[in-house]
Chain A
Amino acid sequence: AQTVTQSQPEMSVQEAETVTLSCTYDTSESDYYLFWYKQPPSRQMILVIRQEAYKQQNATENRFSVNFQKAAKSFSLKISDSQLGDAAMYFCAYRSAGTASKLTFGTGTRLQVTL
């Protein structure tokens, strides 16, 4: 079974600065997808960014980018120019490409953004 590990329960960043959230995963599969979701206090999970394992190029979405290291099974999220609205729980998630598309989540990292 696949597992996803987020080793940072909490992180803090100053507004306008850059922060990196870590995620590692364990799988024996070669084809899969990785995601970062944001969960504000409203509880709705919002997709931030996703990466297909077969793509070597790291995904980027505006201020959000990932560092995908397939051999190391590492998938970190970098948030540039942090904003107060970025404060939330961030979850890393894995999805196999070969089976029904359920997501396996990590335990989350709570990001605080300070002035």
Chain B
Amino acid sequence: GAGVSQSPRYKVAKRGQDVALRCDPISGHVSLFWYQQALGQGPEFLTYFQNEAQLDKSGLPSDRFFAERPEGSVSTLKIQRTQQEDSAVYLCASSSGTAYSNQPQHFGDGTRLSIL
């Protein structure tokens, strides 16, 4: 596609519900990143995929957060038993390079998640 596509754009869920956020990267991009951006803050790294392999998940805040990219293209970020502190914008980025490449990351518009 022309750019990184994320859906839904907005998601409202009740505390305790599970949610799934989707990222469709630029076609052919090897690397995919998830970031969490709290209100008034800069994005913070969550996890990184190179093709289908999750090479870094050091930023995931708890075991309620799970990400996958089974076929090396579309990725899903799942949050189980959501809590109010999970409210944030979730940004996805993709890059044509691998982990050590200096290719830039291209970002999607993000999903704004609100937990009531």
Interfacial residues, chain A to chain B (CB-CB below 8 A): 4, 33, 35, 37, 42-47, 50, 52, 91, 93, 97-108
Question: Chain B interface residue count: which class?
Answer: 20 to 34
Complexed CA–CA distance, A91 and B100 (Å): 22
Q: Given contacts A52-B102, A101-B99, are A42 and B41 in contact (CB under 8 A)?
A: no
Interface segment, B64-72, B78-86, B87-95? B87-95
Cβ-defined contact, B56 with A100, below 8 A = yes
Q: Given contacts A103-B45, A105-B43, A105-B44, are A43 and B100 in contact (CB under 8 A)?
A: no
User: Contact partner of A44 among B55, B56, B108, CB < 8 A?
Assistant: B108
Cβ-defined contact, B59 with A98, below 8 A = no
Complexed CA–CA distance, A107 and B93 (Å): 18
Residue in chain B with minimal CB distance to A47: B104
User: Contact partner of B100 among A4, A35, A97, CB < 8 A?
Assistant: A97
Interface status of B109 (Cβ within 8 A of chain A): yes
Cβ-defined contact, A102 with B56, below 8 A = yes
Q: Given contacts A43-B109, A44-B110, A100-B99, are A105 and B104 in contact (CB under 8 A)?
A: no
Residues of chain A lying within 8 A (CB to CB) of residue B101: 101
Complexed CA–CA distance, A78 and B106 (Å): 22
Q: Given contacts A33-B102, A102-B59, are A45 and B95 in contact (CB under 8 A)?
A: no
Interfacial residues, chain B to chain A (CB-CB below 8 A): 31, 33, 35, 40-45, 48, 55-56, 59, 89, 91, 93, 95, 97, 99-102, 104-110, 112
Complexed CA–CA distance, A93 and B105 (Å): 12
Residue in chain B with minimal CB distance to A100: B99
User: Contact partner of A45 among B41, B48, B91, B97, CB < 8 A?
Assistant: B91
User: Contact partner of A102 among B45, B109, B110, CB < 8 A?
Assistant: B45
Cβ-defined contact, B100 with A45, below 8 A = no
Residue in chain A with minimal CB distance to B55: A100
Residues of chain B lying within 8 A (CB to CB) of residue A101: 31, 48, 95, 97, 99-102, 105
Residues of chain B lying within 8 A (CB to CB) of residue A102: 33, 45, 48, 56, 59
